[in-house]
């Protein structure tokens, strides 16, 4: 696929890094030639210096032949204008714009087909991070939690805790030990190495277990693998920027929230926006004396959301040492995130990784409904729709036992129906796939993606 990316900042760089690893033809446009040169040296892509809203620059970048345009420059107006230009001048099939402003939400008429901006999809990393943290607050035992198919099926990653119900048991024994909550274990990672999953795989303390199940069963499953954590009630947020403000605003009236911001003028603005529901503190979130004075050890969750990776890591580690049960740090640099995840920091969040799944849906072939990137892009969970009939589809009319997946890939769950009639089915070997079933597959290696995508492609005999 030919993909144009406008903007070589942190989000653009992360998006390019993820997409270029799949043999896509990537071109990045940015006004800074030095930044592009660094990207070209590190990744197999082409850089085009210039203003990305100018037709001459877009033409030089290959907009006439592009399949997908992703605008993730720092300014909303640049991204919206660029999408309009590539749509009207070059007729690029799909355009995606990064938009930070609340005034341009995804469902606003301004961004629809009749709105004039030529934007097919809006992404907002700040909004995605906020929603993701909300999920982690709702399920404090989880390392990662992702939604599929009308939010009925959830994929959760949880670290197995010593003394929990399912630790030291094989996966084959899970069903007998916990029959009231059907689940599908799709992967187990031990010290960063994936284990071969079968009925005899034994879960040990410290293992990272990936489970797919019905949303209604998630809390029971988490408590069985991790043991019950106390509910989150008290939250401290470090950083009052766009992400911190969004999160604090969304938590108003539900939790006890303290927000620390270094800039005094920003503090005054935050206090006016958040009112009396949130205590806004002016200071350095890495100041040990301030954290102790504000009883950080009594917090259930500490979330560090400043614009500086080092500050986020340092303040989160300090909060953990001072007694916070759970800490989350926003970390843009992948190498930092990989180093810190699961150590002194419970969860290292990457803004780009929270939105990459929204982009991958437009890159995947076949009838793909949702994509989630896992383990820093090394693995993926893909939700596809079984289209066609027994003659034209590799899935419809087939039983699970007769469908061949690449080595290591596993069926997660099958979601059938809509609304109140929606069912989440475990993929036992005799389950028959029907037309319009949503099938979720765990893919441990991106090299296996094409083989899985072909399962969801309807042959030419289907009309």
pLDDT (tens digit, 9 = 90+) per residue, 354-371? 777 777 777 776 688 888
Residues in Cβ contact with 339 at an 8 Å cutoff, skipping those fewer than 6 apart: none
Q: Where in the chain is the domain with CATH 3.30.70.1450?
A: 129-226, 355-455
The number of CA neighbours under 13 Å toward the Cβ of 335 is 0
**Is residue 288 a contact partner of residue 318, using CB atoms and an 8 Å limit?**
yes
Where do we find the tokens 């009594």? 298
**Lookup: tokens for 65:** 């032949």
Residue 33 is predicted with a pLDDT of 94
Q: Which CATH number fits domain 355-455: 3.30.1490.20, 3.30.70.1450, 3.20.20.70, 1.10.3720.10?
A: 3.30.70.1450
End-to-end, the C-alpha distance of the chain in Å comes to 25
Which 3 state secondary structure label does DSSP give 217?
Answer: helix
Distance CA 175, CA 183 (A): 8
- E strand or H helix that includes residue 80: helix 76-90
Residues in Cβ contact with 240 at an 8 Å cutoff, skipping those fewer than 6 apart: 248, 259, 260, 261, 263, 266, 267, 270, 280
Residue 100 is predicted with a pLDDT of 82
**Is residue 60 a contact partner of residue 48, using CB atoms and an 8 Å limit?**
yes
The mean predicted confidence, pLDDT, of the chain is 87
Residue 120 is predicted with a pLDDT of 86
Write out the CATH class of domain 129-226: alpha beta
Q: Tell me the sheet residues that pair with 345.
A: 341
Residues counted in the chain: 463
- Which residues in the chain come in under a pLDDT of 50? 461-463
Residue 463 is predicted with a pLDDT of 40
**Lookup: tokens for 371:** 């994509």
**Lookup: tokens for 188:** 């187990």
- Residue 289 main-chain phi, psi, to 5 deg: -60, -40
Write out the CATH class of domain 2-123: alpha beta
Q: Tell me the sheet residues that pair with 177.
A: none
Distance CA 337, CA 349 (A): 7
**0.85 cut: is pTM over it?**
no
Distance CA 463, CA 459 (A): 9
Q: Tell me the sheet residues that pair with 194.
A: 189
Strands (E), 199-276: 208-214, 234-238, 256-261
Q: Which CATH number fits domain 236-327: 3.40.605.10, 3.40.309.10, 2.40.50.140, 3.40.50.720?
A: 3.40.50.720
Q: Where in the chain is the domain with CATH 3.40.50.720?
A: 2-123, 236-327
Distance CA 406, CA 105 (A): 39
């Amino acid at each position: 696929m030919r993909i144009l990316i406008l903007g070589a900042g942190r989000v653009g760089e992360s998006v390019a890094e993820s997409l270029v690893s799949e043999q896509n033809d990537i071109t990045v446009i940015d006004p800074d030639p030095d930044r592009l040169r660094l990207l070209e040296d590190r990744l197999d892509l082409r850089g085009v210096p210039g203003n990305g809203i100018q037709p001459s620059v877009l033409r030089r970048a290959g907009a006439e032949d592009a399949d997908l345009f992703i605008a993730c420059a720092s300014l909303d107006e640049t991204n919206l204008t660029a999408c309009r230009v590539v749509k009207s001048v070059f007729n690029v099939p799909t355009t995606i714009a990064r938009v930070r402003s609340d005034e341009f939400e995804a469902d606003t008429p301004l961004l629809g087909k009749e709105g004039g901006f030529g934007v097919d999809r809006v992404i907002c990393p700040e909004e995605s991070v906020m929603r993701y943290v909300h999920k982690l607050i709702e399920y404090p035992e989880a390392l990662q939690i992702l939604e599929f198919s009308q939010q009925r099926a959830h994929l959760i990653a949880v670290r197995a805790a010593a003394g929990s119900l399912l630790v030291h048991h094989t996966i084959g024994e899970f069903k007998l030990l916990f029959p009231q909550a059907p689940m599908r274990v799709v992967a187990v990672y031990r010290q960063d190495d994936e284990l071969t999953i079968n009925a005899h795989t034994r879960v040990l303390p410290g293992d990272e277990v990936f489970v797919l199940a019905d949303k209604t069963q998630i809390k029971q499953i988490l408590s069985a693998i991790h043991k019950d954590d106390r509910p989150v009630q008290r939250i401290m947020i470090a950083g009052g920027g766009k992400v911190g403000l969004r999160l604090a605003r969304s938590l108003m009236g539900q939790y006890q929230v303290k927000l620390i911001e270094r800039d005094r003028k920003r503090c005054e603005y935050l206090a006016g926006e958040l009112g009396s529901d949130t205590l806004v503190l002016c200071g350095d979130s890495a100041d040990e004396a301030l954290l102790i004075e504000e009883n950080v050890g009594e917090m259930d969750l500490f979330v560090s959301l400043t614009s500086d990776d080092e500050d986020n890591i340092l303040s989160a580690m300090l909060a953990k040492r001072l007694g916070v049960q759970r800490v989350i740090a926003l970390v843009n640099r992948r190498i930092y995130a990989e180093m810190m995840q699961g150590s002194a920091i419970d969860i290292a969040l990457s803004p780009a990784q929270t939105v990459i799944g929204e982009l991958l849906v437009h890159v995947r072939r076949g009838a793909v409904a949702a994509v989630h990137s896992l383990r820093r892009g090394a693995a993926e969970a893909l939700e596809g729709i079984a289209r066609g009939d027994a003659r034209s589809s590799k899935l419809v009319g087939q039983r699970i036992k007769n469908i061949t997946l690449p080595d290591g890939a596993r069926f997660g769950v099958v979601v059938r129906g809509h609304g109140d009639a929606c069912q989440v089915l475990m993929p036992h070997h005799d389950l028959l796939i029907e037309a319009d079933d949503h099938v979720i597959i765990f893919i441990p290696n991106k090299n296996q993606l094409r083989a899985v995508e072909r399962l969801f492609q309807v042959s030419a005999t289907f009309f």
